[in-house]
Structure 1
Amino acid sequence: MPTPKFILDLREKIGHDLLWLTGLTGVVLDDQDQVLLVRRADTGNWALIGGILEPGEQPAVGLVREIFEETAVEAAVERLLSVESFPPASYPNGDRVQFLDLCFRCRPLRGEARVNDDESVDVRWWPLDGLPPLRDTDLMLLQRALSPDGQPLYLTSED
Structure 2
Amino acid sequence: MAIPEFIVKLREHVGAEPLWLPAVTAVIIRDVPAGAPFHVVPDVLLVKRADTGEWTPPTGICDPDEQPHVTAAREVREETGLDVRVEALLGVGAVGPVTYGNGDVASYMDTSMRCVVSGSSDEPIVGDEENTDVAWFPISNMPVTNQRFRMVIADAVAQLKHPQGFRPRMGYEKRTAQ
Report the TM-score when normalising by structure 1. 0.93
Instruction: Please show how residues 1-159 of structure 1 align to structure 2 within 5 Å.
Output: 2-32=2-32, 33-110=42-119, 111=121, 112-147=123-158, 148=162, 149-155=165-171
Identical columns (%): 38
Q: How far apart are residue 157 of structure 1 and its match?
A: 9.3
Aligned residues: 159
Structure 1 counterpart of 2:93, which letter?
A: E
Q: Which runs of 5+ in 2 are unaligned?
A: 33-41
Paired with 1:77 and 1:60, the residues of 2 have a C-alpha distance of 6
Paired with 2:99 and 2:144, the residues of 1 have a C-alpha distance of 24
Bigger strand fraction: 1
The runs of at least 4 aligned residues of structure 1 exceeding 4 Å deviation read: 156-159
Structure 1 counterpart of 2:128, which letter?
A: D
Structure 1 counterpart of 2:171, which letter?
A: L
Q: Which runs of 5+ in 1 are unaligned?
A: none
Structure 1 counterpart of 2:59, which letter?
A: G
Cα distance per residue 1:85-117 (max 9 Å; x no partner):
113111111111010100000001124201000
Paired with 2:155 and 2:5, the residues of 1 have a C-alpha distance of 33
Q: How far apart are residue 48 of structure 1 and its match?
A: 1.0
Greater Cα radius of gyration, structure 1 or 2: 2
Paired with 2:103 and 2:143, the residues of 1 have a C-alpha distance of 31
Q: What is the CA RMSD across the aligned residues, in angstroms? A: 1.9
